[in-house]
Amino acid sequence: MSVSDAEKIALSTPAFDLNTLSQQLINNSESGFPPVDQWHPEFCGDIDMRIAGNGQWFYMGTPIGRQRMVELFARVLWREEGRYFLKTPVEKIGIQVDRLPFLITAVEAVETEQGMQLWFTSSTGDHICAGPDHPLRVHVNDQTGEPEPAIHVRFGMEGLIARPVFYQLVEMATLEMGETGEQLIIESAGERFSLGQL
């Protein structure tokens, strides 16, 4: 996973070393993700990088067109005290996230011996099974009244479930009567999640 000279120039800053980041990913390729939670680098400042509400990554106001680079950055994304960072063993760089850092673009229902499992895919290549370690939640936006469904991805960070995917979940859910009225309930990996009230 080498980084071209053009990419180094386009996406490098004095405080951010893409070579270090790339090497860390290579060294941890067996586990799929580097051990970001075990790294404790010093904060090196902010970089002009932003994840928009629709999951698009920008650098200095320009969309990052290389999907490989976006996936590389997503692997070292970190959330701490409400802020988001790109983190390596020696650097921690602040970035801006408009909404949630991941966008969930697909879901697949898989029947197993242990029961139904819902597997979600993000726009950055994450595959997450909803369950005890990856709970689903649906927050209702106070201003729009629209549901904002999300799933825990990793390290305290969530992925926004795209509207077409949420509609799929609604179709798979069952209607149950609860203490506050009828709710749409869906199950995955032995856990029950409410998609909201009717």
pLDDT values of the chain reduced to their tens digit, one per residue, 198 residues = 344 433 443 444 444 555 555 555 555 545 567 889 999 999 989 989 999 999 999 998 999 888 888 998 999 999 999 999 999 888 899 999 999 999 999 999 999 988 999 999 999 999 999 999 999 999 887 788 788 999 999 999 999 999 999 999 999 999 998 777 889 999 999 999 999 876
DSSP-assigned letters across all residues of 28-81: TTTTSS--GGG--PPEEEEEEEEE-TTS-EEETTEE---HHHHHHHHHTEEEET
Q: What is the rounded CA–CA span in Å between residue 16 and residue 29?
A: 21
Domains of the chain with CATH codes: 5-97 (3.10.540.10), 102-197 (2.30.270.10)
Torsions phi, psi for 12 (to 5 deg):
-105, 155
pTM score, whole prediction: 0.83
Q: What is the rounded CA–CA span in Å between residue 153 and residue 181?
A: 30
Strands 43-51 vs 92-97: parallel, antiparallel or unpaired: parallel
